[in-house]
Structure 1
Amino acid sequence: MGKEGRLELLVGNMFGGKSTELIRRINRYEVLRKKVTLFKHSFDQRYGTEEVCSHDGLKREAILVNTSQDLERSLPLETEVVGIEEVQFFDSGIVPLCYALSKLGRTVLAAGLLKDFRGELFPFSDGKRNIGDLISMADKIDQFNAYCTYENGQGICGRDAAWIQRFYDSEVAPYDSPTILPGGKEAYAPRCREHFVFYLENRHLRL
């Protein structure tokens, strides 16, 4: 019997700590003397090109790739643990690739957004699949929410935030705006159920 592989997903909201936990797990496997390779999609260049960086300052060197095929070609044969940052930016080929790597005995740690700014499961770049297809084949799923930053006269809400709201000039972004749009706290804000503006028939409506 060969080595048993597994797929672990770290999904959730922006500012929820996914990257921090991915780096922590990668570092732990390295302490256990496992051969580790960390990848990130080239679209994610918020903190420089060849590093995975968390919002709280942790950093880890990573290989920059554009597609699931690039990742497969760039993977050293001796790798035992594969880390993937911002998995939602990849094409749908990332789903069968993660499955194949785990079947071959490798541990795959993939971190990414669960929902887009519309509150829908995040689609992969070619639109053929979404993050739910990866969730369905995972051995372990951890969800990382942020805290709601909605402010009222009594201060910041602070409740568990499973949604991310996008804004244009302080207004909620239209439903038909691009799914992927670079930005940080100036464009996105974590929201709880009460304060997220849900979309209905391409218009925003608080439900």
Structure 2
Amino acid sequence: MACILNGSKMECDLPKTKGQIQVIFGPMFSGKSTELIRRLKRYQFANYRCLVVRYANDNRYDTQSLATHDKQKLPAMSATVLTDLKRFTDEVDVIGVDEGQFFTDIVSFSEEMANLGKIIIVAALDGTFQRTGFGDILNLVPLAESVVKLTAVCMSCFADASYTKRIGNEKEVEVIGGADKYMAVCRDCHRLSSPVKRSPFKTLDQPMIQVENYNHKKELFC
């Protein structure tokens, strides 16, 4: 790594990165976008140049940023076709794509960028509300260096949730919505036609239990 002192600032040329594909799967409300933001911020902290991409038709929270259910944000470019952004990729080292399941060219774009030495991180639903593969997204699995599947909390029985269940009668696969249209469910609750939604999604604004109160309660039950 070559470093040059420019005035009072040290500028370093990072060694060329080896391309790779990282995939973050999971149902809705499992923290995929949060994990994507965490990884991107880590690369930014290490002086990697990052491009963040959001799906343009998803206007639930923000039209200029990648935004999570609990209001975390990162400035992003909007697109419906990833190849439209190729002209911006020469100057970046890392590309983060949110809602990857909606991009029809996600597989070819990811493979091309990785072969060019880019690190591409894709956060996506692996399955539809019918528990079938979402578009071509599962074709990323044999191409990826890293694949993780996160779980949510079942919004009916509070078990680990690996699936997304739609609330409503729409039959189309692409119906964008949040807790008003979907719930995270476990295997048993997915089999129910209308599971009771006992845990409507809330933001994480509520304070955590105080440590001293927690310790006091532990003493009461010991």
1:90-109 matches, within 5 Å, as 90-91=103-104, 93-109=105-121
TM-score norm. by structure 1 comes to 0.82
Structure 1 CA distance, aligned partners of 2:79 and 2:194?
38
Task: Could you tell me which runs of 5 or more consecutive residues in structure 1 were left unpaired when the two chains were aligned.
Answer: 124-129, 151-156, 199-203
TM-score norm. by structure 2 comes to 0.76
- 2:160 corresponds to which letter in structure 1? D
1:48-197 matches, within 5 Å, as 48-73=62-87, 75-91=88-104, 93-123=105-135, 130-150=136-156, 157-168=157-168, 173=169, 177-197=171-191
Structure 1 CA distance, aligned partners of 2:33 and 2:17?
27
CA contact (8 A) 2:56 2:79 kept: yes
Determine what percentage of the aligned residue pairs are the same residue.
Answer: 31
| Residue 76 to residue 97, structure 1, CA distance change in 2 (3 Å) | closer
Q: CA deviation at 1:76?
A: 3.6
1:7 match: 21
Structure 2 CA distance, aligned partners of 1:132 and 1:23?
22
2:60 match: 46
Structure 1 CA distance, aligned partners of 2:65 and 2:191?
33
Structure 2 CA distance, aligned partners of 1:135 and 1:10?
10
- 1:162 corresponds to which letter in structure 2? S
* 1:145-185 Cα deviation digits (max 9, x unpaired): 111111xxxxxx111111111122xxxx46xx100112211
Q: How many residues align?
A: 180
CA contact (8 A) 2:106 2:137 kept: no
- 1:192 corresponds to which letter in structure 2? C
CA contact (8 A) 2:130 2:165 kept: yes
Q: CA deviation at 1:205?
A: 11
Structure 1 CA distance, aligned partners of 2:65 and 2:32?
15
Larger Rg: 2
Q: Which runs of 4+ in 1 moved over 2 A?
A: none
Structure 2 CA distance, aligned partners of 1:182 and 1:76?
27
Structure (1/2) with the larger strand percentage: 1
Structure 1 CA distance, aligned partners of 2:85 and 2:26?
23
Structure (1/2) with the larger helix percentage: 2
Task: Could you tell me which runs of 5 or more consecutive residues in structure 2 were left unpaired when the two chains were aligned.
Answer: 1-15, 196-222
- 1:182 corresponds to which letter in structure 2? I
Secondary structure of 1:27 counterpart: helix
- 1:136 corresponds to which letter in structure 2? P
CA contact (8 A) 2:17 2:93 kept: no
